[in-house]
Amino acid sequence: MTTYEHEDGDLRRTSRRELASLINEFAAARVTLDSSGNGDRLLVEDLESGDFIFLSPLELVSLCLATPDDREDWLRVGNYRDERRDRSLGPLRGSFS
């Protein structure tokens, strides 16, 4: 599907093809192939909140190379964040390291 969107006052051509909608009891997401940038990338949209992210081939490969601990940490966002373990907030509460 080719559409046209306004970006900073300019009309820009976007080329997107929906690949899949994935839905279970925990989340609903749509995955679309976006060809409007410098190269193909995936557009992943949260169907509940409307939030989205573009993922380049490099970012997709990094998902494959991540450890199980890395992937577990990715789930600790939004409503699932446990502030005591959120490393972006600094050391664990009560931790002296």
Q: Which long-range contacts (CB under 8 A, 24 or more apart) does 81-89 make?
A: none
Predicted confidence pLDDT, tens digits, the chain (97 residues): 545 455 565 556 679 999 999 999 989 999 999 998 889 999 999 999 999 999 999 999 999 999 999 988 888 876 666 655 545 555 544 444 4
| Domain extent listing, the chain | 2-88
- Please, which residues have CB within 8 angstroms of residue 4's CB and are 6 or more apart in sequence? 11, 12, 13, 14
Max Cα-Cα span within the chain: 55
Cβ neighbours of 78 (radius 10 Å):
9
